[in-house]
Amino acid sequence: KNQVEQSPQSLIILEGKNCTLQCNYTVSPFSNLRWYKQDTGRGPVSLTIMTFSENTKSNGRYTATLDADTKQSSLHITASQLSDSASYICVVSDRGSTLGRLYFGRGTQLTVWP
Amino acid sequence: EADIYQTPRYLVIGTGKKITLECSQTMGHDKMYWYQQDPGMELHLIHYSYGVNSTEKGDLSSESTVSRIRTEHFPLTLESARPSHTSQYLCASSPSHRNTGELFFGEGSRLTVL
């Protein structure tokens, strides 16, 4: 069964600190993996996409990594800000259909305290 | 900034009422989706559409129905709402020419059925 597991479920950090969120998946065949940020009461917004051949990709203070062999991805947030408080969702797409079926994790709820 | 809009943002209604959640996008995307999201849980696909006059049920069984008469409009209807329908409903769209799994989400409609 294709699954996407995220950890931790929730995380509290102080402003200015770094943190790393984890995503493990069993989706096969793999097409790509996206990290989304969902602010409270809003829809998710894509932060970054990782394809099979990519190991690391940065988007400002966000850095995503992908290990296709172990089927693990991480999202590292540097110098956290209050506005980083949100749910971060890992979404994996397969290559099994034209639609590119999407598998969602349950998200990591990040809270940044001042 | 994604150009996809959902109305109403919040709705509280009584059991047995008929409701329609509106979703419109101005990006010309062929693919549109409805997801259901409950706290701490992954997004579940309830309906999707590849284009005008094309609608399909998603993974999660739902008593709702959808229509796609115009490219930009993808409304979801519940003929008789029940408390079990209380949830957050997210509409999304994606372009057909790119199968990268990127979804553009609306801000959601939070439905409470009393």
| pLDDT (tens digit per residue) in A49-105 | 998 888 999 999 999 999 999 999 999 999 999 999 999 999 998 876 555 688 999
Cβ distance A80 to B17 under 8 Å?
no
Tell me, what amino acid is at A67?
A: D
SS (H, E, C) B50-87: EECCEEEECCCCCCCEECCCECCECCEEECCCCHHHCE
Tell me the mean pLDDT in the region B15-30.
95
For an interface test with A, give the residue of B43, B45, B96, B111 to mutate (most A CBs within 10 A). Answer: B43
Which of B30, B26, B38, B19 lies closest to B76 in space, CA to CA?
B19
Cβ distance A102 to B99 under 8 Å?
no
Q: Is the pLDDT of residue B11 over 80?
A: yes
Tell me the mean pLDDT in the region A36-44.
94
Q: Is the pLDDT of residue B97 over 90?
A: no
Q: What's the Cα-to-Cα distance from A105 to each of A29, A110, B7, rounded to whole Å? A: 17, 15, 26
Name the pLDDT band for A31 (thresholds 50, 70, 90): confident
Instruction: Name the DSSP letter for residue A41.
Output: T
For an interface test with B, give the residue of A1, A5, A45, A48 to mutate (most B CBs within 10 A). Answer: A45
Q: Spell out which residues of chain A touch residue B48, defining contact as CB-CB under 8 Å.
A: 99
Tokens 């006059």 belong to B53
Helices (H), chain B: none
The predicted structure's pLDDT at residue B6: 97
Q: What is the mean pLDDT of chain A?
A: 92
Q: What's the Cα-to-Cα distance from B103 to each of A102, B12, B30, B41, rounded to whole Å? A: 10, 27, 12, 18
Q: Spell out which residues of chain B touch residue A102, defining contact as CB-CB under 8 Å.
A: 45, 101, 103
